[in-house]
Amino acid sequence: MQTSDFYYDLPHELIAQTPTKDRAASRLLIYDRKTKTITDGMFPDILEHLEPGDVLVRNTTRVIPARLFAKREDTGGNMEFLLLERVEGDRWKALARPARRAKPTHRYVVNDELWISVEGETDAEGGRLIDLHYDGIFEEVLDRAGQVPLPPYITEQLDDKERYQTVYAHERGSAAAPTAGLHFTTELLDAVRQKGVAIADVLLHVGLGTFRPVSAERIEDHKMHTEYYEVSEQAAEQINRARESGGRIIAVGTTSARTLESVADESGIVHAGSGWTGIFITPGYRFRAVDSLITNFHLPESTLLMLVSALATREDMLRVYEHAVRERYRFFSFGDAMMIL
């Protein structure tokens, strides 16, 4: 299958630059795979499509201020480092821009508290192995030195940094937010529980793959980068109990879906554990754990569009996206939501 098979035309003005004033004020498109029908609504309407006994699976990762702007100590030349994955201690995998200037022989100063040394390359596309040098508590130093790494298609300033975090984010480590969860408020989650729907928490730290387009012509030739995940015994028990009782497993976002599919066996049983996953879900994949998905609208030719096309079909999903464009839905991280039933 070709990467170009997942292209669609998107007017630039439909790329949401800012979040809605209220988290739950986004629109919601419901796509029913059985009837192939599309229904337009608002995000709180999601309650109408949840049933007692279902379990909502959400990703509790928290975005760190991973974007560091630095100057080369001897020349003052500008550099940018995007922290992607902690290797060990203060050594990180990062994206360097411009990569050609990121040399092991130089020091890159972020501020009075933090400087960076380059220790090697991780790939030919700007990936670098770096060491962070500082005094004090790392989290506090990073909070003062770094910026939240908004996606490159968002060009407007974000007034409230918490709007790029879910209300349930608490495990620091992501370079990007699990954006499907941005629509949920505490009140809406309370209403979900009151309806008899369980909520299970998993963890996947969103990393390098989010920032890398699919450059291969054939999707089979694309290599996913790995991301760290954790599924607790409690979460696995909740999910398996719901399935045994006839409830549906509803993933909040593609990160939750990828986590579940990484730990589910052939019979759909979810196993507790932690590790690294590079799972790449494309059309033809048989979902083991996920019955339904809440997600945003994704970039053309992206791995995320391929994933949702695997849950439905490529043809049906492109038809849904055509409808969303026609109805002027807002796209990408701060955009509207879709639920695939």
Domain extent, residue 138, equals 67-145
Of 99, 119, 145, the one marking the end of a domain is 145
In a domain, 152, yes or no: no
Angle at 253 between CA 207 and CA 31, to 5 degrees: 145
Same domain, 177 and 308: yes
Check residue 151 and give its pLDDT: 87
Among residues 145, 168, 183, the one where a domain terminates is 145
252 and 132, same structural domain? no
Instruction: Tally the residues of the chain.
Output: 341
Cβ atoms of 207 and 84 within 8 Å: the answer is: yes
Shared-domain flag, residues 267 and 193: yes
pLDDT at 3: 96
Q: Are residues 335 and 260 in the same domain?
A: yes
* Residue 281 placed within a domain: yes
Q: How much is the average pLDDT of 203-229?
A: 86
* Structural domain ending residue among the three candidates 145, 178, 208: 145
The total number of structural domains in the chain stands at: 2
Mean pLDDT lowest among 46-50, 162-166, 208-212, 215-219: 208-212
Q: Report in angstroms the alpha-carbon separations of 256 from 56, 166, 178, 194, 276.
A: 10, 13, 8, 22, 14
| pLDDT digits 0-9 by tens, 263-286 | 999 999 999 999 999 999 999 999
- Mean pLDDT is highest, among 64-68, 94-98, 100-104, 187-191, for 187-191
Residue 181: band (very low, low, confident or very high) from pLDDT cuts 50, 70, 90: very high
* 211, pLDDT greater than 70: no
Largest CA distance in the chain: 65
Quote the pTM value.
Answer: 0.92
Q: For residue 157, what pLDDT is reported? A: 85
Question: pLDDT band for position 210 (50/70/90)?
Answer: low
Place of tokens 């992607």: 84
Residue 155 lies in a domain: no
Q: In this prediction, what percent of the chain has a pLDDT beyond 90?
A: 88
Residues 6+ apart with CB under 8 A from 114: 68, 132, 133, 134, 141, 142, 145
Shared-domain flag, residues 94 and 186: no
In a domain, 203, yes or no: yes
Question: 59 and 72 share a domain?
Answer: no
For residue 2, give the amino acid letter.
Q
Give the pLDDT of residue 208. 66
* CATH number, domain with residue 91: 2.40.10.240
Same domain as 224, residue 205 = yes
- CATH code for the domain in which residue 255 is found: 3.40.1780.10
Share of the chain above pLDDT 70, in %: 99
Do 33 and 97 share a domain, yes or no? no
Q: How far is it, in rounded angstroms, from Cα 218 to Cα 47?
A: 39
4 to 21, 220, 237, 302: CA distances (angstroms): 35, 13, 40, 10
What is the residue whose two structure tokens read 């201020």? 65
- Residue 150: inside a domain: no
In the predicted model, is pLDDT for residue 168 greater than 80?
yes
Q: Which of 265, 313, 257, 314 is nearest to 288 (CA)?
A: 265
Q: Are 18 and 56 found together in one domain?
A: yes
Q: Which residue has the tokens 């979902």?
A: 287
The dihedral region occupied by 183, where left means phi > 0, alpha psi between -120 and 50, and beta the remainder, is alpha
Burial (CB < 10 A; 0-12, 13-18, 19+), residue 272, is middle
Q: How far apart (Å, rounded) are the C-alpha atoms in residues 83 and 68?
A: 8
